[in-house]
Amino acid sequence: MRGRHPLCAGILAGTLTFLTSLPLGLAQPVAQPVAPWEVALRLAAPSDAAWRRQAMALLSVALRVRTAVEAAEGVTPAEVSPGSLFDTPFLVWSGRDAITLDADARAALGDFLGHGGLLLVDGDPTRDRAFLQSVEEVLETVLPTVDSPAPALRPVADDDVLLRTFYLLPGGGVRSPGDLRAARAGTRIAVVESRADLLGALATGAAPERERATRFLVNTVMYALCLDYKSDQVHAPFLMRRRAGP
Protein backbone atom coordinates (compact mmCIF):
# COMPACT_ATOMS: atom_id res chain seq x y z
CA MET A 1 0.00 0.00 0.00
CA ARG A 2 3.00 2.31 0.26
CA GLY A 3 2.82 5.37 -2.03
CA ARG A 4 0.10 6.93 -4.09
CA HIS A 5 -2.91 5.07 -5.41
CA PRO A 6 -2.02 3.86 -8.94
CA LEU A 7 -4.64 6.10 -10.52
CA CYS A 8 -3.12 9.24 -8.94
CA ALA A 9 0.29 8.28 -10.25
CA GLY A 10 -1.26 7.45 -13.62
CA ILE A 11 -2.96 10.84 -13.90
CA LEU A 12 0.32 12.64 -13.21
CA ALA A 13 2.32 10.42 -15.57
CA GLY A 14 -0.36 10.74 -18.25
CA THR A 15 -0.27 14.54 -17.92
CA LEU A 16 3.46 14.58 -18.56
CA THR A 17 3.11 12.32 -21.59
CA PHE A 18 0.24 14.40 -22.92
CA LEU A 19 2.23 17.64 -22.72
CA THR A 20 5.39 16.32 -24.34
CA SER A 21 3.97 14.19 -27.16
CA LEU A 22 1.73 16.66 -29.05
CA PRO A 23 2.93 17.61 -32.56
CA LEU A 24 3.18 21.37 -33.13
CA GLY A 25 -0.01 22.88 -34.48
CA LEU A 26 -2.19 19.91 -33.49
CA ALA A 27 -5.69 20.85 -32.35
CA GLN A 28 -6.45 20.34 -28.66
CA PRO A 29 -7.35 16.65 -28.22
CA VAL A 30 -10.37 15.33 -26.38
CA ALA A 31 -9.49 14.08 -22.90
CA GLN A 32 -9.84 10.36 -22.45
CA PRO A 33 -12.26 9.19 -19.71
CA VAL A 34 -10.63 8.01 -16.52
CA ALA A 35 -11.75 4.75 -14.97
CA PRO A 36 -13.24 5.09 -11.46
CA TRP A 37 -11.26 4.10 -8.40
CA GLU A 38 -12.48 1.12 -6.44
CA VAL A 39 -12.23 1.07 -2.66
CA ALA A 40 -13.95 -0.77 0.16
CA LEU A 41 -14.75 1.16 3.33
CA ARG A 42 -13.95 -0.75 6.50
CA LEU A 43 -15.22 -0.01 9.99
CA ALA A 44 -13.91 -1.45 13.23
CA ALA A 45 -16.66 -0.72 15.74
CA PRO A 46 -16.59 -2.98 18.79
CA SER A 47 -19.88 -1.70 20.23
CA ASP A 48 -22.88 0.52 19.50
CA ALA A 49 -22.25 -0.15 15.81
CA ALA A 50 -25.58 0.06 13.91
CA TRP A 51 -25.75 3.82 13.38
CA ARG A 52 -22.00 3.95 12.79
CA ARG A 53 -22.44 1.46 9.94
CA GLN A 54 -25.27 3.62 8.64
CA ALA A 55 -22.95 6.65 8.62
CA MET A 56 -20.29 4.72 6.71
CA ALA A 57 -22.90 3.62 4.15
CA LEU A 58 -23.81 7.30 3.64
CA LEU A 59 -20.12 8.09 3.13
CA SER A 60 -19.95 5.34 0.50
CA VAL A 61 -22.85 6.97 -1.36
CA ALA A 62 -21.22 10.40 -1.12
CA LEU A 63 -17.99 9.08 -2.60
CA ARG A 64 -19.79 7.50 -5.55
CA VAL A 65 -21.91 10.60 -6.24
CA ARG A 66 -19.31 13.32 -5.67
CA THR A 67 -16.00 11.78 -6.73
CA ALA A 68 -14.45 9.24 -9.09
CA VAL A 69 -14.14 6.76 -6.22
CA GLU A 70 -16.26 3.68 -6.84
CA ALA A 71 -16.83 2.82 -3.20
CA ALA A 72 -18.39 -0.53 -2.47
CA GLU A 73 -21.98 -0.30 -1.27
CA GLY A 74 -22.32 -0.51 2.48
CA VAL A 75 -19.37 -1.11 4.75
CA THR A 76 -17.17 -4.08 5.51
CA PRO A 77 -16.75 -4.96 9.21
CA ALA A 78 -13.11 -5.11 10.24
CA GLU A 79 -11.14 -6.46 13.14
CA VAL A 80 -7.80 -5.08 14.25
CA SER A 81 -6.01 -8.39 14.03
CA PRO A 82 -3.21 -10.04 12.02
CA GLY A 83 -4.04 -10.60 8.36
CA SER A 84 -7.29 -8.64 8.35
CA LEU A 85 -6.24 -5.06 7.68
CA PHE A 86 -4.64 -4.98 4.24
CA ASP A 87 -7.62 -5.18 1.87
CA THR A 88 -7.96 -1.39 1.77
CA PRO A 89 -5.72 1.57 2.69
CA PHE A 90 -8.40 3.26 4.80
CA LEU A 91 -9.79 2.06 8.14
CA VAL A 92 -12.25 3.83 10.43
CA TRP A 93 -12.16 2.89 14.11
CA SER A 94 -15.08 4.07 16.22
CA GLY A 95 -16.88 2.88 19.34
CA ARG A 96 -18.12 3.65 22.83
CA ASP A 97 -16.48 1.15 25.18
CA ALA A 98 -12.81 0.72 25.98
CA ILE A 99 -10.92 -1.69 23.73
CA THR A 100 -7.96 -3.98 24.35
CA LEU A 101 -5.50 -5.35 21.79
CA ASP A 102 -3.06 -8.19 22.37
CA ALA A 103 0.54 -8.05 21.19
CA ASP A 104 -0.21 -9.68 17.81
CA ALA A 105 -3.03 -7.23 17.06
CA ARG A 106 -0.85 -4.26 18.01
CA ALA A 107 1.88 -5.55 15.71
CA ALA A 108 -0.65 -5.91 12.87
CA LEU A 109 -1.87 -2.35 13.41
CA GLY A 110 1.71 -1.07 13.38
CA ASP A 111 2.33 -2.98 10.15
CA PHE A 112 -0.78 -1.45 8.55
CA LEU A 113 0.22 2.09 9.53
CA GLY A 114 3.85 1.60 8.61
CA HIS A 115 3.09 0.33 5.10
CA GLY A 116 0.82 3.09 3.88
CA GLY A 117 -2.46 2.52 5.74
CA LEU A 118 -4.48 5.42 7.14
CA LEU A 119 -6.45 4.99 10.37
CA LEU A 120 -9.25 7.41 11.25
CA VAL A 121 -10.27 7.26 14.91
CA ASP A 122 -13.61 8.98 15.52
CA GLY A 123 -15.80 9.56 18.53
CA ASP A 124 -17.60 11.96 20.82
CA PRO A 125 -15.32 13.06 23.71
CA THR A 126 -18.13 12.60 26.26
CA ARG A 127 -20.15 9.64 25.02
CA ASP A 128 -17.13 7.72 23.69
CA ARG A 129 -14.57 8.81 26.28
CA ALA A 130 -13.58 5.29 27.34
CA PHE A 131 -13.05 4.22 23.73
CA LEU A 132 -10.98 7.25 22.77
CA GLN A 133 -8.77 6.98 25.85
CA SER A 134 -8.13 3.28 25.25
CA VAL A 135 -7.24 3.87 21.58
CA GLU A 136 -4.78 6.59 22.56
CA GLU A 137 -3.15 4.15 25.00
CA VAL A 138 -2.86 1.58 22.20
CA LEU A 139 -1.34 4.14 19.85
CA GLU A 140 1.26 5.09 22.45
CA THR A 141 2.69 1.58 22.09
CA VAL A 142 2.03 1.12 18.35
CA LEU A 143 3.29 4.41 16.90
CA PRO A 144 6.92 3.91 18.05
CA THR A 145 6.99 0.80 15.81
CA VAL A 146 5.83 2.80 12.76
CA ASP A 147 8.63 5.33 12.45
CA SER A 148 11.58 6.84 14.30
CA PRO A 149 11.27 9.20 16.05
CA ALA A 150 7.85 7.95 17.08
CA PRO A 151 4.94 9.85 15.46
CA ALA A 152 2.87 11.88 17.90
CA LEU A 153 -0.71 13.08 17.67
CA ARG A 154 -0.60 16.82 17.00
CA PRO A 155 -3.28 19.38 15.99
CA VAL A 156 -3.99 19.53 12.26
CA ALA A 157 -2.80 22.90 10.91
CA ASP A 158 -5.21 25.08 8.93
CA ASP A 159 -3.05 24.74 5.82
CA ASP A 160 -2.58 20.97 6.04
CA VAL A 161 -2.99 19.12 2.75
CA LEU A 162 -5.61 16.92 4.45
CA LEU A 163 -7.93 19.92 4.39
CA ARG A 164 -7.63 20.41 0.61
CA THR A 165 -7.36 16.96 -0.96
CA PHE A 166 -10.84 17.39 -2.46
CA TYR A 167 -12.70 20.16 -0.64
CA LEU A 168 -11.06 23.31 0.73
CA LEU A 169 -11.90 23.15 4.45
CA PRO A 170 -10.73 26.19 6.43
CA GLY A 171 -10.37 25.28 10.09
CA GLY A 172 -10.90 21.62 9.31
CA GLY A 173 -14.57 22.02 8.45
CA VAL A 174 -15.59 20.46 11.77
CA ARG A 175 -17.07 21.77 15.01
CA SER A 176 -13.77 23.00 16.40
CA PRO A 177 -10.27 22.91 14.86
CA GLY A 178 -9.03 21.46 18.17
CA ASP A 179 -11.14 18.36 17.50
CA LEU A 180 -8.62 17.10 14.91
CA ARG A 181 -5.17 15.66 15.52
CA ALA A 182 -2.89 13.63 13.28
CA ALA A 183 0.23 11.49 13.61
CA ARG A 184 2.72 11.35 10.75
CA ALA A 185 5.10 8.64 9.61
CA GLY A 186 7.70 10.84 7.98
CA THR A 187 5.65 13.32 5.96
CA ARG A 188 2.69 10.96 5.49
CA ILE A 189 -0.31 11.07 7.83
CA ALA A 190 -0.80 7.62 9.32
CA VAL A 191 -3.45 8.37 11.97
CA VAL A 192 -6.20 10.98 12.15
CA GLU A 193 -7.96 11.33 15.48
CA SER A 194 -11.31 13.11 15.41
CA ARG A 195 -13.18 14.13 18.54
CA ALA A 196 -15.79 15.82 16.35
CA ASP A 197 -18.07 12.75 16.20
CA LEU A 198 -18.00 12.75 12.41
CA LEU A 199 -20.01 9.54 12.09
CA GLY A 200 -22.62 10.87 14.52
CA ALA A 201 -22.93 14.08 12.51
CA LEU A 202 -23.25 12.08 9.30
CA ALA A 203 -25.90 9.72 10.70
CA THR A 204 -28.04 12.07 12.80
CA GLY A 205 -26.76 15.64 12.47
CA ALA A 206 -28.57 18.64 11.00
CA ALA A 207 -27.91 19.37 7.33
CA PRO A 208 -24.99 21.85 7.77
CA GLU A 209 -23.28 19.59 10.31
CA ARG A 210 -23.82 16.53 8.11
CA GLU A 211 -22.35 18.33 5.10
CA ARG A 212 -19.23 19.41 7.01
CA ALA A 213 -18.67 15.86 8.24
CA THR A 214 -19.20 14.44 4.74
CA ARG A 215 -16.67 16.82 3.23
CA PHE A 216 -14.00 16.06 5.80
CA LEU A 217 -14.52 12.30 5.44
CA VAL A 218 -14.33 12.56 1.64
CA ASN A 219 -11.05 14.46 2.02
CA THR A 220 -9.71 11.77 4.33
CA VAL A 221 -10.53 8.96 1.89
CA MET A 222 -8.91 10.93 -0.94
CA TYR A 223 -5.80 11.40 1.18
CA ALA A 224 -5.67 7.67 1.90
CA LEU A 225 -5.76 6.99 -1.84
CA CYS A 226 -3.56 9.81 -3.14
CA LEU A 227 -1.53 11.09 -0.17
CA ASP A 228 -0.21 14.62 -0.65
CA TYR A 229 -0.56 15.02 -4.42
CA LYS A 230 -2.40 18.32 -3.81
CA SER A 231 0.90 19.69 -2.47
CA ASP A 232 2.37 19.43 -5.99
CA GLN A 233 3.04 22.90 -7.40
CA VAL A 234 0.84 22.25 -10.45
CA HIS A 235 -2.19 22.78 -8.16
CA ALA A 236 -0.95 26.04 -6.57
CA PRO A 237 -2.46 28.59 -9.04
CA PHE A 238 -5.90 26.95 -8.87
CA LEU A 239 -5.87 26.83 -5.05
CA MET A 240 -4.79 30.47 -4.82
CA ARG A 241 -7.67 31.52 -7.10
CA ARG A 242 -10.14 29.52 -5.01
CA ARG A 243 -8.90 31.15 -1.80
CA ALA A 244 -9.10 34.63 -3.34
CA GLY A 245 -12.75 34.09 -4.23
CA PRO A 246 -14.63 35.40 -7.29
> What's the average model confidence in pLDDT over 207-226?
93
- Mind listing the pLDDT tens digit for each residue in 29-65? 333 333 445 667 888 876 667 899 899 999 999 999 9
Q: What is the mean pLDDT of the chain?
A: 77
DSSP-assigned beta bridge partners for residue 193: 121, 181
Query: Residue 85: its pLDDT value, please?
Result: 81
Assigned CATH topology for domain 33-244:
Rossmann fold (3.40.50)
**pTM: predicted TM-score of the whole model, two decimal places:** 0.78
| CA separation for the pair 83, 81 (Å, rounded) | 6
Q: Where are the beta strands (DSSP E) in the chain?
A: 37-39, 42-44, 69-71, 76-77, 90-94, 118-122, 154-155, 180-185, 188-194
- Among 12-16, 65-69, 136-140, the range with the most confident prediction by mean pLDDT is 136-140
Show me where the domains of the chain are located. Answer: 33-244
Q: Could you tell me the CA-to-CA distances from 19 to 14, 24, 29, 43, 214 in Å, in that order?
A: 9, 11, 11, 41, 35
Query: Residue 244: its pLDDT value, please?
Result: 54
Question: In this predicted model, which residue has the larger pLDDT, 165 or 76?
Answer: 165
- Mind listing the pLDDT tens digit for each residue in 166-215? 999 876 666 665 789 999 998 899 999 999 999 999 999 999 999 999 99
Banded pLDDT at 226 (limits 50, 70, 90): confident
Percent of the chain with pLDDT over 70: 72
